[in-house]
Structure 1
Amino acid sequence: NRFRAAYRLFMYRVGSLFDLALLVGLWLVRHLMSLHWHARRIEHEDRDRLEVPLIREAVAAGIPVLGICRGMQLLNVCLGGSLHQEISVFYEESPVLRTLLPRKRVFIGANSRLHAIFRRDSLRVNSLHYQSVKALGEGLRSSAAEANGIVQAIEHTNAKFLIGVQWHPEYLPMKRSQQRLFQALVKAAHSPGISVTSPLRAQSEEQTIHKIAASQRTQLETASKHEAMFGV
């Protein structure tokens, strides 16, 4: 029994050190990527021009979507919602947490899809944002929030899988609760009935078919005129 207890304590400490090393490594990667993005002066407008059409196509096609941090905010805006541009006013009685460590507690709605995924009423998460959801977009509901009311997760009431979280689960891969979120996304993507053809692509294919048909009609009309003229 003593050996087992000592072994468990040893493995717990090794696991804790590994988690700490992993968090430090993730922070360094994120910091280096942030420097790279800043050096290239990539503006949010450029990302919006790329990401907004992709989100709208995915939503229209019923493709599962998981929005993380800015991705959650963009999901909300794409569906007609709005944002708090600065959330510091919500933290007058407590400090604003900006950390990769899971130090912020969020409370999960009892009847939400997120609750079914995490299987708990509250969760410790990290926090790196300075904006947040204000008015919810069409069909969206808040599925997790802080004690001060800041929305920490949203989900669509009708879509098969359309979820946004304000924290960064990808920086907490050692947490089984966060693993469940990605597992749920993969499961939804593998479920039957998911369309992989976007509306824009379908429209483009339809236009191509019409062009081919019109070209064939023109060729037939030209051939008919040629026969009538030369008696071929």
Structure 2
Amino acid sequence: MARPVIGVTCYVEPAKFTVWDMRAALLPYMYVDHITRAGGQPVILPPAGEPAALAGRLDGLIIAGGGDIDPARYGAPPAAQTGYVREFRDEAEFGLMETALRTGLPFLGICRGLQVLNVALGGTLLQHLPDVVGHTAHSPAPGTFGRLPVRLSPGLAKIYDGEDLTPAHYHHQAIDRLADGLEVTARSDDGTIEAVEVTGAAFALAVQWHPEADEDGPLFHALVAAARR
């Protein structure tokens, strides 16, 4: 059986590679490794042209981690800590998200991807989580993942084969008002929403942590299995 085609959104940032220092469309290779090991064929989707028009050629979609969403999309002024806003990426990913939801394309949101899902459906975000929870364990230092336990719902626990998980976190924002049509499927001990799924969808879920940073990849296997179906 052919590998299901899994589209993955990406960054557009200044980057250094070999002898070059220039603007590049890039994605941490951990995503590629996990999709490939799960039996999928990864395809990187840069935020250019009309990526939403490609949804019909995909078997599954991942909206990857990245910078903050423009707060204007959920009716808020930007906080001082909100950063790395890329409006062209917002435009592309919200279009992809809306198309995936409309067509039933199997979808996995990772970190920023969870926030895109919530805002696309009418929810809002906390722009700087440490101001709310009183600690920085969700994003302990630049370029450093934090390890924070979360409690999973029964459905998500089946994917992970257990209710308790200590995944890699790197986020300073989180869901504030949960959008209609979403169900919370994981929380951390401080009450932060760490995972959601679209009510009634065959496979449309998102996590606030970074599953690509771990050796095991049950979420990627679950997405590829849904894409095969």
TM over 0.5: yes
**Offset at 1:138?**
2.2
Is 1:171 matched up with 2:171? no
Q: Distance in 2 between matches of 1:84 and 1:40?
A: 30
Which residue matches 2:152? 108
Amino acid at match of 1:166: Q
3-state SS of the aligned residue for 1:114?
Answer: helix
Which residue matches 1:76? 118
Answer yes or no: is the 8 Å Cα contact 1:98–1:126 preserved in 2: no
Unmatched segments (≥5 aa) in structure 2: 1-11, 17-21, 25-83
Amino acid at match of 2:222: A
Q: Distance in 1 between matches of 2:194 and 2:167?
A: 10
Answer yes or no: is the 8 Å Cα contact 2:13–2:23 preserved in 1: no
Which residue matches 1:91? 133
Which structure: greater helix fraction?
A: 1
Is 1:36 matched up with 2:18? no
Which structure: greater strand fraction?
A: 2
Which residue matches 2:162? 120
Which residue matches 1:189? 227
Answer yes or no: is the 8 Å Cα contact 2:106–2:202 preserved in 1: yes
Answer yes or no: is the 8 Å Cα contact 2:137–2:148 preserved in 1: no
Q: Distance in 2 between matches of 1:101 and 1:43?
A: 21
Which residue matches 1:57? 99
TM-score by length of 2: 0.60
> Identity, % of aligned pairs?
36
Tell me the alpha carbon deviations over residues 165-195 of structure 1, each in whole angstroms, 9 at most, x when there is no partner. Answer: 11111111x1x3xx1111110011111xxxx
Say how many residue pairs are matched. Answer: 153
Which residue matches 2:56? none
Q: Distance in 1 between matches of 2:180 and 2:188?
A: 22
Which residue matches 1:144? 186
3-state SS of the aligned residue for 1:142?
Answer: strand
Tell me the alpha carbon deviations over residues 117-146 of structure 1, each in whole angstroms, 9 at most, x when there is no partner. Answer: 112111011111110011112210110011
Unmatched segments (≥5 aa) in structure 1: 1-32, 192-232
> CA RMSD of the aligned region, Å?
2.7
